[in-house]
Amino acid sequence: MQKLKQMKQELASVTKENLLRQLQVMEPLDPSHVLINGQEYLLMASNNYLGLTHHPFIKAAAASAAEQYGTGSGGARLTSGNHSGYEALETELAQLKQTEAALVFNTGYMANVGIISALANANDVIFSDELNHASIIDGCRLSKARTVVFHHSDMAHLDKLLKNTPCSGQRLIVTDGVFSMDGDIARLDEIVMLGEKYDSLIMVDDAHATGVIGPGGRGTAAYYGVSDKVQIEIGTLSKSLAAEGGFVAGSHLLIHYLMNRARSFIFSTALSAATIAAARAALQVLIAEPKRVEILNTKATMLKKELLSAGLPVLASETPIIPLLIGDAAQTLAFSRTLYDARLIVSAIRPPTVPAGSSRLRLTVTAAHSSRDLAKASGIIIHAAKKAGLI
C-alpha cells in the first residue's frame, strides 16, 4: 500500500537527518534520579521544577484519594465525573492567580487547543509569538481565525502587525509566559500595553512559569504586576505542580463560556480523584513554602554561571531552563549521547521543536537537585564539551 511505503520512507529520512524520536524507559528513583537497566542516572531533563513528585504529603494525598474514591473518574465533568476535589482545586487555582474563577482541563495541551478554538472565530485575528508552544499553534489551526505570527518577543513587529492587519472581529494576542525551549520570559508588560492600544485580549501560557517565576511562583502576570490586565491565564498541573492536567484562570464569564464551548473540556473524561488530590496538595506546599521557588532559582543561576564561565554557549535564559545552543542536529544528538554515557540525562532538542540550525541541549534544574548533583552535572558537561572541541 502506498501510505505504508511513504511512512517507511519518511522514517528512514528522519533517521538519516538525526531527527528520529524514540522512547526510553526510565524508572524514577526520586525527583532527580532515574534507573535505566538497573543503572542510576542523574536527570536534568524534567519539568518537575519544584521537585514535588515524591513529596510524602502529596503522595499520601493521591494515595488516600484513590483509596477513598477509586481510580478512574468514569465520566466527563459535565456528566458524572465532577468529583468534589475538582471544584476545590479550581477555587484554589483562582486564588493563586487572583482571578474570579478557574477551569481544569485534562492536560495543558488540551487547555490551549480547546480554549483558542472556542474563543477565536472567523472574523477574529490571533497574534502569536513565533516560539509559542505546539499546543497554542494547534489551537490556532483548529480555530477559524486568521493567525498572524510575530517575531519572537519583538514588540515593534507586534505593534506593526496589530496596526496593519485588518480585523472586523476581536484581536487576541497569545504568548508563552516562559518560553519552553529558550527559558526567556515574555515581555508581558509591553504586550499588555499593546493590548490596550489595539483593544486586544491577552492570553499567556504559564506552563513553565507557575511555581517558577513571580511572587510565590504565581507566574508571568504576577511577575510584571499586570494580573488585572491579562484576561486569560493558562497553566499546567503537570510541571511544578507534580500531577497532570491543565487549567485556565480568568473571569466567571470566560470560565462559564469555556465550560460550554471548549470541546476538549466537554468531550473528555475527567481526571481521577488521585490526580486532583495530588495537584491540590502540591499547590498547598507551594503556598506554604514559597521559599522553594527561591531555592530553585538560586540553584539554576549557580549552574548557569558555572557553565557560562567555562565558555559554554548558554542562551540568555532567566529561568531554570538552561539551553546550550549547538546548532547542528547530529552534533547535538552526539553530545547528548556522550552525556548519557556519563549517566547524565538532558534533552536533545531538534527540529521541528526548534527552528532548523538551532538544535540545542536543554537542561532543567529543579529545587530537588543537590549541590552535589549540580557540581556533577557541570563537571560532566564541561568535560564532554572539551572532548567534543566545543570549548
Ligand X SMILES: *Cc1c(COP(=O)(O)O)cnc(C)c1O
> Footprint of ligand X on this chain (CB under 6 A)?
107-109, 112, 133, 135, 176, 180, 205, 207-208, 236, 238, 246
Identity of the residue numbered 130: E
Which class for 370: exposed (0-12), middle (13-18), buried (19 or more C-beta within 10 A)? exposed
CB of residue 339 to ligand X, shortest distance in Å = 22
CB of residue 272 to ligand X, shortest distance in Å = 15
Q: 181 or 381, CB closer to ligand X?
A: 181
CB of residue 361 to ligand X, shortest distance in Å = 17
Residues sharing a CB contact under 8 Å with residue 100, sequence separation 6 or more, in sequence order: 94, 250, 251, 252, 255
Distance CA(99)–CA(232), nearest Å, equals 10
CB of residue 234 to ligand X, shortest distance in Å = 7
CB of residue 385 to ligand X, shortest distance in Å = 27
* Residue 352, preceding peptide bond in cis (omega within 30° of 0): yes
Q: 203 or 377, CB closer to ligand X?
A: 203
Q: 77 or 208, CB closer to ligand X?
A: 208
Q: 101 or 204, CB closer to ligand X?
A: 204
Residues sharing a CB contact under 8 Å with residue 70, sequence separation 6 or more, in sequence order: 273
CB of residue 167 to ligand X, shortest distance in Å = 25
- The answer to whether 221 and 188 are in contact (CB under 8 A) is yes
- Among the listed residues 180, 137, 215, the one whose alpha carbon sits nearest the alpha carbon of residue 45: 180
CB of residue 219 to ligand X, shortest distance in Å = 12
Q: 240 or 378, CB closer to ligand X?
A: 240
| Cα 234–chain centre separation | 10
Q: 112 or 364, CB closer to ligand X?
A: 112
Which class for 144: exposed (0-12), middle (13-18), buried (19 or more C-beta within 10 A)? exposed
3-state SS, one letter per residue, for 197-230 = HCCEEEEEECCCCCCCCCHHHCCHHHHHCCHHHC
Q: 112 or 143, CB closer to ligand X?
A: 112
Q: 176 or 373, CB closer to ligand X?
A: 176
What is the DSSP code string of 231-299? SEEEEESSSTTSS--EEEEE-HHHHHHHHHH-HHHHTSBPPPHHHHHHHHHHHHHHHH-THHHHHHHHH
Q: 279 or 314, CB closer to ligand X?
A: 279
CB of residue 92 to ligand X, shortest distance in Å = 18
Q: 208 or 304, CB closer to ligand X?
A: 208
CB of residue 179 to ligand X, shortest distance in Å = 8
Q: Which residue is nearest to ligand X (CB)?
A: 108
Length of the chain: 391
Distance CA(270)–CA(77), nearest Å, equals 5
CB of residue 245 to ligand X, shortest distance in Å = 7
- Among the listed residues 366, 361, 365, the one whose alpha carbon sits nearest the alpha carbon of residue 381: 361
3-state SS, one letter per residue, for 57-107 = HHHHHHHHHHHHHCCCCCCECCCCCCCHHHHHHHHHHHHHHCCCEEEEECC
Could you say which DSSP state residue 187 is in? -
